Every structure is written in C-alpha cells, then in structure tokens.
Structure 1
Amino acid sequence: MPKKGKKAKAPLSDEEQLLLFQQKLLADEETAKKKERLLNQFLKDKLAKEEHNSALNLNKINTQWRMVLREVKTRELHKDIEILSQTFERVVDCKDSVIKCHVSCRKTIIDQHEKEMHYLQDVFMAMEQNYIDSEYESKLEFQSMWDDLKNKNLEEKHFLRLQLENIVEDLWRRFQDALKNYTDATEDRKIAFEALKVKDEKSSKEIEAQMKRIQKLQEAISILKGKIMAHSRESEEQNQCIRNDKELVHVHLRKLKTQRTQAREVSQENLVKLTLESNATLKALRKIVDKGEKILKLAEICRKFETEEEKVLPFYASALTPKEQAEVEALNQEELTEDLAQVMVNYTGMENFWKRYNKVKLEVLSLQHRRAQLLDISGKLKEMLKQYLDGISVSDEVLSQPNPLFIVNHRSNLAQPLSMPAAQSGDK
C-alpha cells in the first residue's frame, strides 16, 4: 500500500491570524507587566536596603561624633573645675579673714556692753531709792490733809443739823395752826359736800343705768343696721351673680353657635378630604393590584427560565454561622422598637420573596459588572485591531493619526509601540 503523505498545514484565515496576533499581544503585555512589577519590587527592596544602610551609617557617625564631643567637653570641664577651685580657695581665705575680724570686734562690743549695763544698774538703783523716799513723803502729806478735811466736814454737818431742826419745828407749828383754821372754816362746807356727794352717787348710778340702756339700744341698732347692710349686700351680690350668669350664658351660647358652625364647616371639609383620599386610595390599591398581577405573570414567565438548581433550591442559604446569626438577631431585637417590631412581624411572610428578589438582584449586578468588563475588553481589542489595520494600510487619514509605520529618529508616534506587527511582517 502506498504511504500516505503528511497533510500540509492549511493556511490560517485573517480572523485566526488576528486572534493569534491578539493572543501574542496579550502575552507580551502580561510579560511586560510582570517585568515592570519585578523591577518595581527590586527597586523597592534596593531602596529599603539603602535606607537601612544609611540609617546604620548615620548612627555610627553620630556615636563617633558624640565621643569626640564628650572628650572635648570633659577637657573644658576639667579646666573650668580647676579655675573654680582656685577662686573658691581665694574666697575661703577672704571669708576667714572677715570672720576673724568679726570675732575680735564682737569681743570689744561685748566688753563695752557689760560696762554700760553696770552703769545703768547703778542709775536704776539710785532712781528707785529716790522714788521710795518721795512716795513716803507724799503719803504723810496726804494723811494730814485728809484728817483736816474730815474734822472740818464734821463741824459743818453738826451746825447744819441744828439749824435744820429749828427750821422744821417752826414749820410744823405753822402747819398745825393753818390746819386748825381750815377745819374751823370748812365745817359747814364739809357737811354740804357730804350731802352733795350722796346725791351725786345716786345720780351717777342713774346715769350709768341710762347709759347702759342707751348702749344696749345702740348695739341693737348697730346689729340691725349690720343685718340690713348684710342683707342688702347679699341681695346685691345675688343680683350681680345672676346678671353675670346671664352674661356667661349668652357668651357660652354665642360660642356654641360659632363652634357649631365651625364644626359643620370642618366636618364638610373632612368629608371632602375623606372622599378625595378614599378615591386616591382606591386608585392606589387598583395600581397595587395591577402591579401584583403583573408580578405574578412575570413570575410565571420567569419560572419557565429557571434552572434545575433554582427549581430544587429556590432560596439561598445564609452565609453566616449559627453564632453570627444569633448575634445579628440579638442586635436587631435590641435596636427595634415595639411599633417597628410589630410591622416586621406583619411582613414575615415576605422573607422568602425578598430572598429570591435579592438573589436575582445580585445576579443582575454581577452580570452588569461582567458586561462592563467585556465591553471594556472589546473596546481595547477594537482599538488594537484598528491600529493594526491602520499600520498595514496607507492613506491621508491614516498618516494624520498615530501610525506605527511613521517613524522619525527611531521613534514611533504611537502612545505604546507595538512589536508584534514588525515581527509578523518579518515572518512574512
């Protein structure tokens, strides 16, 4: 049997060549990024090592410089200490001489003070003796003067007593004579006075009885006047109260009329609002019902497109552990108020619906994110394809735009130079 020859490779189509070229470009771009990352990492490590070495060298320089400064400072301090010791010795010598001079002066001052003290003691003794002598003489003189005054006062007192006794006897005699003459002259008048006195007592008793009677009558009159005034005041107060009550009743009646009219207006307004709100609620409820029917129809339509996994497990399980789930429930119970908890209890039947809704929402978001990524990749590929096609064609439009074939001074006007087209042209 004849040997079968090897099959020749079929020529690649333009699309396959474009895909191959795009794969090579992507691979080159990945390698360039890896090299750039490695270079950045190498530079960062080298920079860290240089910083570490510079810090170590700086510490060494600082320590050596500190040692030099310490030696210089110690020499300066030794010189300062020697100078201070010499000055201290000079000051101590001066202080010793001053202390010796002060001690000698103190001894002389003490001797002089003792002499003055002896002199003052002698003077004090002499003055004390003179004071005692003068005090004794003054006491003797005072005693003699006191005796003379006492004798003189006794004599004057005796003379005045005799003189006063004579005057009192004379006045008593005159008083007795005048009393006798008065009794003799007023005997008749005394008898008449006694009679008038008895009559006056009787009349005074009658006057007193009449006064008591008048007083009782006045008290009765004042009581009656008080009663009359009280009755008049009470009647006036009652009349005033009745008039005030009448005024209050009229005012209250007017208020009630105004309130009735206002309540009628408010009730009419409330009725209008109630009718408007009821119509609005009916329209809203109709919209909700239509929306619910639409949701049910969409759910029936979507049920046809559900996968087997969604039909078996329509509700996703929670990603939290039982412990974390318990903590979340405890926090929710602490933060919820009574009204909010009651509302949530009323909507517990919607949990499964919201789970499925959230699952679908997450899938939609992930698909949108994936679509954006794919659109970005597609745009980049279109741009690369356009650059490649511009590179293999020549026209005014192409020359006016960045072109890999237009090279000046070994530099292209592209933002990022492409090496693959040149390699491919070399292969051709």
Structure 2
Amino acid sequence: MGKKGKGKGNKLAKMSEEERARYLQMRADQEEETRRRKMQLISMYMKNKLKREDAFGRLNMAKINQEWRSILRQVKIQELRREIVDVETFFQEALKRKDQVIHRLIAHIESTEDMYANLQQSHMENITKIVDTHRERIEFLRRIYEDDKQAVLSEWEQDSAGFKDMHAQKQQQLECVFYQLEETTDTGIRDNHERFLDRCEDLKSGMQLQLEQITSRGEARLEKLWQEYQSVLAGYCQHIEGFYSEYVDLKQRDEEAALQISQQTHEIEHLVDQLANLRLVSEEFYNKQQGQVEQRQSIKQQLTERLQELRTCVEDEMARDHQSFKLMSVESYNALEFLQETVGKGEILIQLSAVCAKMETERERMFQLPEISREIIEIREMDDQQAGVSSDPATDLLKDEVGVVPQMDTFWRRVNNVAVDVACLKQQKRRLESENAQLKAQLQDYLVNLNIANGSNSHIHQYLARRPKSMSVDRVSRLQLQPKQVRSALPTGRRPQAPTPPTFHLHSGRSRVPAFEANFTNVVRSRTLVRGRVELARMD
C-alpha cells in the first residue's frame, strides 16, 4: 500500500498544476458519474419495486373488495330470503283476513239489498201521493193566477189611457213656457251689447288724452338731449383736431397693411394648396409604409413561428439526446458489468485450466494445431508472398484470431478429457457403491450375529448411524456422455485404472474392523470445479 501511494504521489508530483487540476477534475467527474449511475439504478430499482408493490396492493385490495362484496351479497341474500318468507306468511294471513271480511260484507250486502227494496217500494208510494197532491195544488194556483192576470190587465189599460191624456196637456204647457223664455233672453242680450259699446267709447277717448300728454313730455325731453349731444359733439371735434393728421397717417398705413394682408393671404392660400398636396403625398407614403410594415410584421410573425418550431425541435432533440445518453449510460454500465462478469469467468476458466494442466499426463500435453488452422496460416503466408506485402504482426488482426483457434481447440480437448475422466470416476463410484452396499449388508449380518452371541444388540443402530468421514462424498451433477463423438473417450487412449484397494483387512489376533473408502480424487470432491451440468464439446 505504501508503494502504491508513493507511486501515485510521484505521479501527481510530476504533473503540472494544470495537468494535476485536470486529472483531479477527471477523477471527480468519474466518481460523480459513478455515483450518479448508482443513484439512477437505485431510483429505477425503487421505482420498479414501488410500482410492483402498488400493483400488488391494488390487486390485493381488489381481491379483498371482491370477497367482502361477495360476503355482503350472501348476507343480503339471506336477509332477503328471510324477508320474503316473512312477507309470504304475512300475505297469507292478510289474504285470509280479507277473505273473511269479503264474505261478511257479501252477507251484509244481501241483507241490506232486501231492506233497500222494501224501503224503495214504500218511498215510491209516498212520492206518488206527494206528486198527486202537488198537481192538484198547482192547478188551483193556476186558476187563481189567470183571474188575477185578467184584473191587472184591465186596470193597466185604464191607467195607460189616463197617462196619455195627461202627457198631451203637459207638453202644451212646456211649449208655452219655452217661447216665453226665448223672448226674454233675446231682449237681455241686446241691452247688454249696447252698454258694452258705450263703455268702449269712453275708454278709447280717455286713452287718447293720456297718449297726447305722454308724447308732449317725451318731445321736450328729446329736444333737451339733442342740444346736449350737439354741445358734446362740438367739444369732441375741437379735442380731436390734433389727432386728425395721425389718423390720416394710420389710415395710409392701414391701407398698406391691408394690401400686405391680401398678398400674404394669397401666399397663405398658395401654401395651403402646397400643404394639401404634401398631405396627399404623405398619406400615400404612409399607406405605402403601412403596407410594408404589415408585410414585414407578417414576415416577422412567420419567422417567430419558425423560430418557435426550431426551438421546439431543438428542445425535443435535446430531450431525446438526453434520454439516449441516459440509456447509453445504463447500457454501458450493464455492458461493463457483463464484460467484467465475462472477464471473471475467463479468469476462473484460466485458473481451472491451470489446475487441470497440473494433472495432465505427458501424452495429453502434446497437442498439435488443427489442420484447418494450419491451412489458413499457410494460405495467408502464400498470398502475402505472392502480393509482396510484408505482414505486420502488430496490425494483422486476422493472424491473431487464427492463432486463438488452436488454443480454444486445446481448451475444448482438455474439457472433453476432464469430462471423460469424470464419467469414468462416476462409473468407478457406482461400482464402489455397489460393493459398499454388499459390504454393509455383510457387516450388518456379522454384527447381528456377534451381538446375538454376546447377548446384546442395542448398539447396532447407533453404530450404523455414525458414518465415517471417508463416506461423505459431495454431490456431482450428472453428465450426458457421447463417447462415439469424442476421440479421447476411446479405450486405447485412456490411462489404466488404479487398482482398487481392499475393502477390509483381517488381522490375526484382532477383531474384524471395516474400512470403507470412496477413493475419489480431489477434482471430484472440490465444489468450485464442478458447477451445474457439464457438457462435452463436439469435435467434427
């Protein structure tokens, strides 16, 4: 650790200030990017988890609601059934009561019908008697009415004749009174008119006298005022004689000013005409400028809309690029993890190949390049010689790829050899297991006989329950072998099987002690070397 820190310090010391700042900034950016990616992954994981929890919560709530509703429906159904039964019983009882009431009412109606018939008969007889009595009375009253009517008509004729005579007399009297009143009214009207005319003459003469008096007084006063005016006018003329010359001069100036005013008026009219023309020109120019302004405003509006569209497109592109960058960051992180995992697997394979290489024999190590790789290399060398091009090992990538082929072929050969070894060891294991089962049965019989001979057999099960450590073998996954397609699986190229040690030994002077041994190699016992199902590589 000290050397590493010292090397890093030396590296920073060798840098300039700008390079050191750039390096530290780069490191800080990398750490920030890593932290940001971690936070993004955590947030994505939490969001997905929350979504799943929400979905499960909604699903569970829907299930609970459904169950609760089904329970409520069942309860409601039971209640409705009970209500239906109660209503049915109540309806039956009410129907019975109604039937009883109906029968009772029918009997009552029949009795009342008989009573009604009797009463109706007696009532009709009484009505007939009353009608006859009223008819007789009406006939008597009609005769009395006719007698009274004749008497009233005779009296009315007498009275009407008397009223007509009286009306003629009264009309003559009224005509005489009307003539008298008309004569009296005409005489009064003539007298009143004569009195009115006399009074009008008197008033007219009085008004003429008053008017003459007022006229004489006004004429005298007017004469006096005229004399005063003449005296004032004479004094005024004497007073303004000194100003007359000035008046003449001012009059000449006034004439000259009037002439100038007329000339200036003419000039003003000319200028007004020019101003009107200029106004027309300015209005035309204003209209033209207004049209240009409107056109430019429309162009400006179009450019503004285009700018807004471009801004929207740029924002969309930036958002899309941002999303792509996020996706690229996540995918790059996933790719890095996948590559790191692949590198880890490759390192494990290298370690496994190194471990397996230690256990290989001399014959297994002597592998040659496959024929196809050799042919490819020879063909490329011949083409290069014919073309006169010197192959650069630093730039010739295909040569490196072709060089990897024999290594992979060697790797798969090693894998196949290991798989065949494992299959052989499994066969040996099965054979040893069968022998072990036979020995266990023999040993159990022997111990049973021995305990029976000694008189006790309580420790048999305890002894059998304790299994030696040599019998604890790790579980190995099953292999699917295809010996016809693997060259190394032929019996000619295999190693001789190791001799099987004796299962148990009998020593003189000692009791028989069982010795069970699985005799498996460390490769089979290791848990790190066999993971999952191993398949052999096919070599065509």
Output the TM-score relative to the length of structure 2.
0.27
Higher-Rg member (1/2)? 2
Output the TM-score relative to the length of structure 1.
0.33
